[in-house]
Structure 1
């Protein structure tokens, strides 16, 4: 394992019904091929050693004996792989026949897990051949398989635990066990299982693939596990039904890999066990349920060594560059619409509650203030209030460019708001004189005086008109502390407070697309030009007509910082793991560049908590937020030494 990733695979071998030797050859070949790709856990379908569709042949002693011999052969001939291999077969304890799964590792048969729930409806008639296993009536015991394996652990109370990483605990269930209200995997997860392997023979009918996909994803979410669903396919009898080999791998509600129907291909996914453990720890209700867990037998095995390291591992999963923004166009549009509605509804409630007569916004012609204005306009529409009661204030000063100024004025006009222009250069110059600051020294005082003057203007206009100052700062700026304390850091309600910069861009783009769809090409063109403008606070004099102060040249690319922010807050990952993930997501960026901005992120994040500790109200819209009243509570004087030291020590 590397950085908590466990490489998993689901294989669908070609089976010959009732020919255990032929099936063993197919299973061995598939297992070796998957192991060669670094798979540490390899799942095969239900009853794959015999074929699921043997029907009454299951009751024939020669078939049962052949299955046991084939199992031992598979174990011996896959011993050198080092992978945990799980296959299905019928086993007898001398009193009943069980539909079971066998866990194999380095030539050993570690355990046999029987199926708990036997479908006996519609096209299924498993109770004709197999006995369902009732854990309540069967104490922990072993099963005699042969002279080579006289005491194999047998039951549903079994976890295969990695000796290299005890967070990796594998439990097994079979097909119908997933489809019942209280699955064995639920009990196993509460008892510590982080990986569930389901050996299945789910036949294909119209619409079933979609339902199966939903079921697997939902169970992985409810149990907070990696869930492997290996399904039967090629070679099964088609006397009455057809099997497609539809296999899936999901992790905590997210589908990581899925086979095409009838493809017969092995699927792989690197499941993040560290992420699963963090999610369980963070979600305290999971541990509340685990208080009622059962005692499982743990069988140790050294199977989490895929033969790769941090440098050579190419992840078998997609790492999104923009975790706050869906990659699919349709899903992205739906997300934008939902986020905007949440922002607007939150502000509308505050406007109604305070009986605000106006909303006051500092409009700069940049992305954040543009989004704030558009959301405020939507909130006023929800309240049935006239948009002219929104006061858009442009406050040109030393760094304002003609481009941003014109866009601010044009947008205020197109949205139907009142535009006020308050030029603050004279006020700021006077303030410099009052405090004895040289206007030619363009330092932090030079910049922050302008930001605080703007905030004073907005607050005073709000007082004068009986309104609220709408904050424009976003989540990314809060994380980095890229705001002037008691300047743009402060407002009466922050509509963008939980919106990261990467998402702000898409939200403004959504408004542009919406305007274009309504035939409002003028507004669309304004918004597109704002999107094309470099991000800047415009606090330093321009270079001619061009913006001189470009934020991302100072603090770093927001695309990287938002990636860091998401993984730090959402999963608590270490700097080394975040760097590893960033290298996978940003293959076009140099590792030294990523490290530089990662170290910078941690320095800024720890140094700037004092600003977040007194940030204004604002509705949470996503899974990551920095509100001190909700998601993130951190001492303002906490040391970041542990994180910074690790980040600085990363080798590129």
Structure 2
């Protein structure tokens, strides 16, 4: 019948520094795996302290507490008779490492430190850890509390293969899968039948297919690949999206959910290890195996496969098709799950958003409604943790009978803060209808009184009356008057957020949500300390183009017909008076389209182009639409506004990360905020343009 091994991976919503909660979730995952008959369970990367500790990894307490939690886990009656793969930071010879500790029946088997650290994009692992040297194996002296508990003094530490009585497996950590020469290649050639990958992989739009491709390809030459991922908000801008899985011989056989409110999700499969034999029969593979590095093996007196009388009820895992979400669905689900984690962990009473009637704040509100839909679904499924959190947020009301709109009315408030001359009836109406459709508590008010008070105070103090552009004012006057409004809305947003619960007989305060998208942040098309300054921003890492697609999808998926009106409306900040022949337009103000901004952002951050190389690239890409000189003007304008507005990123609201070209300088885009005027690059382009245009003129003269 073959060698049948029942194995489990999991995805856990671990919180940074929540040692008690993290321990309990790990133990619950082990309990569920054992109930399913598993002999091995894989947990996410750094699951004991949490992944997003940042500089807390410099603290000795983090290492000490992590080992204390290990002791509590391996000594529990619920964790015996199963091999456990745990993630925590360890110190070896006073060198810190990101590591896996493998244990069985109250004993430590070995420690596997991470070899290839993730040190780009969102990650700075080499700020905290030192990479382990490949193929190196040392002896690790266990902490005193572990020695006392296990009776062990030392265990192997390093790049090893684990050999049970009937199977061989090895551990590979997150980034190592993404490297060209991944460790699993050598492990496979050395006969390791199961590869364990513990990960802390964040959600990014359209990223999952790359991750799944890597995992399935890693097992194509024969073998089982297990992947475990963190899920949830780990206290920062990232959302870890789970989707743990098991693959064998290049085919996926089990996949966890990508977005869910569940704190613990265990994925179990029974695989026939004899199926690996046929996939490894290539003679070329055999020749490479004979030349492969010979690893130290850690022997384990434990059987992973079925012995004697087989359990006829066991179902051998069959190949399944990977499940993917459309980008529009990813926007609906990822930021919504992130918002839920943030809300329940912060202890706040709910969220507040200034609802302008434009598509950005509309998207933010719709994502909050998506969160409410997920919560109600989880409640109906009987998720006890969600029920407890939702009951607290609803002041003890019976949440089991609530609709998404009912729940939204308890945790979400919005306000349209208009101006008599600037705000149109259409935007005011759209905001009100949307709030009503999703069940939000909505306020409609005008801020003219506050605006006029600020304008009067400034005018009196300076003996100068600023005017809007449409009234004959200069650029500086026009911008200042617009900023009076936007900064007034920020002040009022926090006032409403702090007082709304109390005014309704409740307690606590609301968190203010921002609504500036990634393209506006990139261009700097926002006022510093205006209503884009909020507590968190669920759309700050999402492009305008993707937000429009999301709203079009949500119109039907969430049955919100009003959303079409937001798509049809011209994007406008409505900060200038509306006249018979003038209505402010975002793209006219910016001097570039949102689509163009996405291109500039991608070339600047992802492709790592400067001014000159960006111009060269776009001269080719846009040759059918623009002359080289027109392209130069576009690139020059973009880099000018990017440079003069970069300082705004130093105060940008912490935003959900979703797009590779996000300009958030706090974590992801480490660039200066004071720039020169790119004179060298401009001069080089202008010289080339002169030669191009002279050549074109000469050709025209000959003709």
Give the TM-score of the pair, scaled to structure 1: 0.46
Structure 1 or 2, whichever has the larger Rg, is 1
